[in-house]
Amino acid sequence: MNPVLKRWNEAPSPEAVREIMACCGAKAWGQRVAGGRPFQDEESLLAAADEVWSGLTPRDWLEAFASHPRIGETAAKAPAGAQSSSWSRQEQTQVAGSDREVQAALASANRAYERKFGHIFIVCATGKSAAEILAILSRRMQNDEGSELREAADEQRQITHLRLKKWLGL
């Protein structure tokens, strides 16, 4: 068994919730996933994470979104732990290295997105350039509110998977 998973399976509940919250900022998600312990392997944890995520409310999804900084920024609206902040910086590495013009366009597009949808733009940024992210943001501005919320929730699910794997050392 993965040593991180083994230790986490045996941790007291409050500690387990606190630790896994670095992977997804929705409290209900952290509580329910931790409440489903013990997990036998990484695959069962990932499956449970997805099942819990799909059963959450839009309010929970928005809570998770708020734990992320805007694309191109480093601070989240809601307090995020040190591990979550570190992962956000890693995930946005290509954005941080982009030219000022693209960064300015992203900042402007982020503001327009927030005015339209009422929450920050969530995208699984790992491996994507700033220009790719800007194109995705522009495309998603065409979504209606419900479609966009579902698409953002799926992006958050993908981010959560990546973070769970990092947390487990995979």
Domain ranges of the chain: 3-167
Question: Phi, psi at residue 121, to the nearest 5°?
Answer: -75, 125
Instruction: Classify domain 3-167 by CATH number.
Output: 1.10.3330.10
d(CA 149, CA 62): 9
Q: What is the pTM of this model?
A: 0.87
- Amino acid identity, residue 68? H
* Residue pLDDT, tens place only, 99-145: 788 888 888 999 999 999 999 999 998 888 888 999 999 999 999 99
> Residue 84: pLDDT band by 50, 70, 90 thresholds?
low
Judge whether 68 counts as a catalytic residue.
Answer: yes
DSSP structural state of residue 38: -
* Residue pLDDT, tens place only, 50-78: 999 999 999 999 999 998 877 766 555 55
Determine the number of helices (DSSP H) and then strands (DSSP E) in the chain. Answer: 10, 0
Out of 17, 25, 30, 68, the active site residue is 68
Q: At what angle do helices 58-66 and 145-167 cross, to 10 degrees?
A: 60
